[in-house]
Chains A and B, each alone.
Chain A
Amino acid sequence: MIGAVATQTVEIPDRRAVAESRLREASTMTLRTAPAALSSAEATSLIRRIAETQDRGAFAALFAYYFPRVKAYMLRVGASPAGAEEFAQEALLRVWRKADSFDPRAAAASTWIFVIARNLRIDRLRGERNIDGFERDPSEEPDAPPSGEAIAIMNERRSRLHAALAALPAEQAHIIELFYFEEHPQSEIARMLGVPLGTVKSRVRLAVQRLRAELEDLGS
């Protein structure tokens, strides 16, 4: 019953082609049940379909998976519910527009989308900026299409990252996570550990050094 009501609310009458409305309906279905998993290889291929043929079906699948997660990220970093919805919307539109600049050898799809969401938030906090994050040295960007092997390496790297985080003592892993998702990580860490703000810096430095060692141990 609730499902039927929700379906009606999304059926805004317009003059679009039938095929498109079918696509829309299909993807709203997916959206309501945000997919639990999207492999890095799948995400990579969706983004490349957007880049190559402006494939809206591919965008729908990417949107269904990432929109609720990017919105969750925006909420965690302090956006209001309405703001988070709008920022997530804009972030996903940037994904659409910039799809042809995605290079799966430079970063996994999740990394690329995280960076887009992060930069969008910075832009909005600071007022629009033109710079979209740190620009990599063009000489480091090979221009041949990525091999299956390169993509497999990226996938491998992603699971290693999880392993590196899991290898940290719980307190340090929590400190790292707070950095990504708290608006004021240092005061949150101080509160959590019950230590003065000055002590937080050294604890953070310790956690970061440990994480670095884990990442380097993994040899990725």
Chain B
Amino acid sequence: MTNPGHAPEDLILRHATGALDPAFSLLIETHLAMSPASRRLHAHFEALGGALLEELAPADVDPAAWNRALRALDTDGEPAVDLPKRKATHPKLPEGFALPAPLASVDIHHWRWIAPGVRSASIALPEHGASRAFLLEIAPGMTVPRHGHVGDEATCVLRGGFRDRDAHFGPGDVAQVDEEVEHDIMIDAGDPCLCLIAMEGRTRPSSWFGRLYQKFRDI
């Protein structure tokens, strides 16, 4: 059950308009797979795109366009058969936990410990973008101390949960921060918290978390 207050409406809109890069697209598609309410909103935004498309003033077109289309139909054979997809590789995941479909279809690298109780696994995106995506798993009951961020960052909870300032985030919820936010995060007791994170920039998760950790040692 996702918390309606934690739907990343602006990212859902940007996904519907086609403006998100691969890392943030994957995060939103994962969120949509977990949240029926956000799927409805996303469908509204796509429908709005259709409505706006119809309102655009038609462009001047090359009079030969239809002939070209007809020729393409004639040379068009049977619809291309999708090649059987190679099964994506994943790191070891908690017993009984299945990745939401959008995440299950991408390759995810091995777990790497980046701090005591914290490990990350990078996600191989279909192509390079300005952002990166990775899984992060943090031990139950841990506190990630006050920290800031370099760019936009979004976290989708896959399993477990955490508290950030006054809000609680559980499976399917998305927490968004930008460079102006400084916060502590308290991981729920019980299960480790498994999250998908998309972030602007090419910082490696280890140095990203190292920065948090540095901050922790400073205070």
Q: Is A161's CB under 8 angstroms from B48's CB? A: yes
- Point out the residue from B33, B39, B49 that lies within 8 Å of A111, measured CB to CB: B49
Interface positions, chain B 9-27, Cβ under 8 Å from A, are 9-10, 13-15, 17-19, 22
Q: How far is the CA of A30 from the CA of B116 in the complex (A)?
A: 68
Q: Is A176's CB under 8 angstroms from B32's CB? A: no
Q: Is B47's CB under 8 angstroms from A157's CB? A: yes
Q: Is A89's CB under 8 angstroms from B72's CB? A: yes
A41 contacts partner chain B, Cβ-Cβ < 8 Å? no
Q: Report the interface size for chain A: residues with CB under 8 A from the other chain.
A: 80
B76 contacts partner chain A, Cβ-Cβ < 8 Å? yes
Could you list 19 A-B pairs, sorted by A, with CB under 8 Å?
Answer: A6-B63, A24-B67, A31-B61, A71-B58, A72-B59, A85-B62, A96-B73, A110-B53, A111-B49, A114-B53, A118-B17, A118-B49, A126-B22, A126-B129, A161-B47, A180-B48, A181-B52, A185-B17, A220-B44
Binding site for A on B (CB under 8 A): 9-10, 13-15, 17-19, 22, 29, 32-33, 39, 41-44, 46-54, 56-70, 72-73, 76, 79, 82, 85, 101-102, 105, 126-127, 129, 178, 180
Q: Is A69's CB under 8 angstroms from B56's CB? A: yes
Q: Is A70's CB under 8 angstroms from B13's CB? A: no
Contacts of A149 in B (CB 8 A): none
Contacts of A6 in B (CB 8 A): 63
Q: How far is the CA of A201 from the CA of B51 in the complex (A)?
A: 24
Contacts of A209 in B (CB 8 A): 9
Interface string of A43-65 (1 = CB under 8 A from B): 00000000000001001100110
Q: Is B51's CB under 8 angstroms from A73's CB? A: no
Of residues B57, B129, B180, which shows the largest number of chain A Cβ atoms within 10 Å of its Cβ? B57
Given contacts A89-B72, A121-B18, contact A114 B46 (CB under 8 A): yes
Q: Is B52's CB under 8 angstroms from A180's CB? A: yes
Q: Is B44's CB under 8 angstroms from A93's CB? A: no
Contacts of B56 in A (CB 8 A): 69, 72-73, 76, 181
Given contacts A70-B53, A134-B102, contact A118 B18 (CB under 8 A): yes
Contacts of A164 in B (CB 8 A): 48
Min CB gap B1→A, angstroms: 16
A143 contacts partner chain B, Cβ-Cβ < 8 Å? no
Min CB gap A75→B, angstroms: 6
Contacts of A76 in B (CB 8 A): 56
Min CB gap A152→B, angstroms: 15
Min CB gap A33→B, angstroms: 10
Given contacts A129-B126, A205-B9, contact A110 B54 (CB under 8 A): yes
Contacts of A97 in B (CB 8 A): 76, 79
Min CB gap B30→A, angstroms: 10
Contacts of B65 in A (CB 8 A): 31, 67, 85, 88-89
Q: How far is the CA of A215 from the CA of B43 in the complex (A)?
A: 11
- Point out the residue from A68, A84, A158, A201 that lies within 8 Å of B10, measured CB to CB: A201
Of residues A112, A208, A215, A220, which shows the largest number of chain B Cβ atoms within 10 Å of its Cβ? A208
Interface string of A127-138 (1 = CB under 8 A from B): 101110011110
Q: Is A208's CB under 8 angstroms from B64's CB? A: no
Q: Is B178's CB under 8 angstroms from A107's CB? A: no
Q: How far is the CA of A113 from the CA of B14 in the complex (A)?
A: 18
A192 contacts partner chain B, Cβ-Cβ < 8 Å? no
Given contacts A110-B54, A205-B9, contact A180 B49 (CB under 8 A): yes
Min CB gap B218→A, angstroms: 26
- Point out the residue from A67, A70, A134, A179 that lies within 8 Å of B19, measured CB to CB: A179
